[in-house]
Amino acid sequence: MLAQRTALLKGSGTAAARAAAKEAADAGVQVVDLTAGEIWTDLAPTIRDGAIAAIDKGINRYTETIGLMDLREALARKVTAETGQAWGASEIAVTAGAKQALFNAAMVLLDPGDEVIIPAPYWTTFPAQVQIAGGVPVHVDTRANGFVPRIEDIVAAITPRTRAIVINTPNNPTGTVYDRTLLRALGELAIERDLWIIFDECYRDFIHTDVGHHSIVSVIPEARSRTVIVNAFSKALALTGWRIGYLAGPDHLVRSVTAVQSHTTSNPNVIAQHAVLHHLQNTDGTFEARLQNQLTAARNMGLGVLSGLSRIPLPTAMGGFYFYLDIKNLVAPEPWNLVIGDRDVDMLVREMIAKAGVATVSGTAFGDPFGMRLSYGIPWGRLQEGLGRLVGFLNAWSYGATPEAENKEKESS
């Protein structure tokens, strides 16, 4: 018999979407894969040089559990510049990607039964890790407000068991960027109700709006003592496979994180640590600017193609590198008549892989039955082809008119 917690968890919805795309490709379908949360680009020269230098020096031993001191000091300088407040190495923990930073935070902050408020749509890992820690995810829907949480909805979700709130900006999957007014209100609420803030800003380097990205700690410094900042180099430097992330928080929290990490992964990959350290010490910003320009061009081209959608609103795509489509009009036209498992977004996503050769992530992975996420981090030509196929398929798609649905209707009549 397995542990009870395993019954609460399913595999990552985004990982499942990638697996479905691979399965279709292995079956001979010419698939354009828009599922992965990563950017296709060359490695930053500074990352390559730092890794090679570390290998040439024969570096292969443990580092401190929460990372090289030099790297933590460099990250402290980075967070200081980004927040306008002084941070030290004792307030930084280097982790095996942002997922481990979030896991560590959940393990040191939550007791069984503690509730965590998570605006929806949400990245699939947020509620899963809360459950692993014995907590209870409490979702607050944001669809009615353009995927921006309303303070009154957050307040209504707070109970005596509420321990923390997750703030993810730019948001994955929607791309929504929270403005200063909202961040201040959330920070003030956390202070008033004695809540922790888990502030995930992994997409902070990719902003496509005048709103701009702001760290909640820079907007409301009084919230610093109850905030855990989570970031990584997976997106900012296109290093998803290298697994280097970090968190910044009060030093007593970092000490507890150190203890947790010492019993899980121990230190992050030593070569990756040296590579990132070399980059932070030597970058002139050229690689980051090229990556930003690549994504800006892909976004602009993609929005041009998606403007051909006839029944789906054009996504705002304010930040990150995803287009998030609201496909309610396709799967649940007014009056709503959604038949879960028969005519839902999951079925539409499966149909599009099989018939159009385009793989996307269903909104159900993010707690949204009417959404669809498309990554525009793939090569330009493939992106243009995939979005063109997607537009043609969705424009022609008729609610309930797939062969599978028609056959089931005939059988039931």
Residue 125: pLDDT band (50, 70, 90) is very high
> What is the pLDDT, as a whole number, of residue 400?
52
Cβ(306)–Cβ(394) under 8 Å?
A: no
Cβ(232)–Cβ(101) under 8 Å?
A: yes
Q: What are phi and psi of 229, to 5 degrees?
A: -90, 130
Among residues 226, 221, 227, 231, the alpha carbon closest in space to that of 201 is found at 231
> What is the pLDDT, as a whole number, of residue 341?
40
Q: Of 5 and 95, which is predicted with more confidence?
A: 95
- For residue 362, list its beta bridge partners: 372
> What is the pLDDT, as a whole number, of residue 334?
53
Handedness of CA 143, 149, 151, 155 (dihedral sign): positive
Check whether 25 has a pLDDT greater than 90.
no
Cβ(330)–Cβ(77) under 8 Å?
A: no
* % of the chain surpassing 70 pLDDT: 92
Check whether 406 has a pLDDT greater than 80.
no
How many Cβ atoms are within 10 Å of 192's Cβ, its own excluded? Answer: 10
CA–chain centroid gap for 348, Å, is 23
Q: Report CA-CA distances (Å) from 396 to 34, 311, 362.
A: 20, 10, 19
Q: For 195-223, how does the pLDDT look when each residue is reduced to its tens digit (9 = 90+)?
A: 999 999 999 999 999 999 999 999 999 99
> What is the pLDDT, as a whole number, of residue 22?
77
> What is the pLDDT, as a whole number, of residue 200?
98
Residue 17: pLDDT band (50, 70, 90) is confident
Q: For 296-343, how does the pLDDT look when each residue is reduced to its tens digit (9 = 90+)?
A: 999 999 999 999 999 999 999 999 999 999 999 888 755 444 444 445
Query: How far is 236 from 86, CA to CA, in rounded Å?
Result: 22
Check whether 186 has a pLDDT greater than 70.
yes
Query: How far is 370 from 376, CA to CA, in rounded Å?
Result: 20
> What is the pLDDT, as a whole number, of residue 202?
98
